[in-house]
């Protein structure tokens, strides 16, 4: 995904995020391997994220990082618990078989209480997420 020129961006530890004109949140990974964060660092980042989204649930289109490592069970459980309160629906874009496997593992072992689907391109992901952004 390309970051549009006319949007306000926010820098997170492993991604850059922005909203489109419809209020959909987009996230692209920073180049390279994502940093490993402690639970305290994850909570701090989630607090920052909640401030950015206005403490409400959002529809999100996220590009997977092909350099991510599979999360441990405790990481999966912790992350899933934390994002349940801030995600209304999530479309994940990945062309990497490894990223697809990691996402399938994450959602297969800990299915989210919100709609989530993987896509190979941005156009299809945005079309799907729009139906949940009402």
Residue 39's CB is within 10 A of a number of other CB atoms, namely 12
More confident residue, 100 or 54: 54
Residues 8-41 pLDDT 10s: 999 998 899 999 999 999 999 888 777 777 888 8
Tell me what pLDDT residue 17 has.
Answer: 96
Residue 123, class by beta-carbon neighbours within 10 Å (0-12 exposed, 13-18 middle, 19+ buried)?
A: exposed
Look-up of token digits 């912790």: 78
The domain 9-130: what is its CATH number? 3.40.970.30
Mean pLDDT of the chain: 85
At 119 the three-state DSSP class reads strand
Tell me what pLDDT residue 79 has.
Answer: 75
Give mean pLDDT, residues 77-103: 82
Tell me what pLDDT residue 5 has.
Answer: 92
Task: Say what the pTM is.
Answer: 0.85
At 16 the three-state DSSP class reads strand
Per-residue pLDDT band at 94 (split at 50, 70, 90): confident
Tell me what pLDDT residue 73 has.
Answer: 67
DSSP structural state of residue 11? E
Tell me what pLDDT residue 71 has.
Answer: 64
pLDDT > 90? residue 127: yes
User: 26 with 1: CB under 8 angstroms?
Assistant: yes
| CA dihedral sign of residues 67, 52, 20, 111 | positive
User: 76 with 46: CB under 8 angstroms?
Assistant: no
Residues 53-82 pLDDT 10s: 998 999 999 998 766 666 666 776 777 788
Give mean pLDDT, residues 91-120: 79
User: 25 with 58: CB under 8 angstroms?
Assistant: yes
Secondary structure (DSSP) of 23-88: S-EEEEEPSSSPPP--HHHHHHHHHHHHHHHTSS-EEEEEEPPTTPPPPPHHHHHHHHHHHTTTEE
């Amino acid at each position: 995904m390309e970051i549009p020129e006319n949007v306000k961006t926010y820098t997170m530890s492993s991604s850059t995020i922005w909203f489109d004109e419809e209020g959909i949140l987009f996230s692209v990974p920073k180049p390279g391997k994502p940093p490993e964060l402690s639970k305290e660092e994850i909570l701090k980042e989630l607090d920052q994220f909640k401030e950015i989204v206005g403490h409400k649930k959002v529809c999100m289109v996220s590009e997977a990082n092909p350099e991510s490592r599979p999360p441990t069970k405790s990481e999966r459980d912790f992350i899933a618990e934390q994002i349940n309160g801030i995600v209304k629906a999530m479309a994940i874009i990945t062309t990497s078989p490894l990223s697809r496997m990691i996402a399938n593992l994450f959602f297969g072992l800990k299915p989210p209480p919100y709609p989530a689907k993987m896509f190979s391109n941005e156009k299809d992901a945005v079309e799907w997420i729009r139906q949940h952004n009402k």
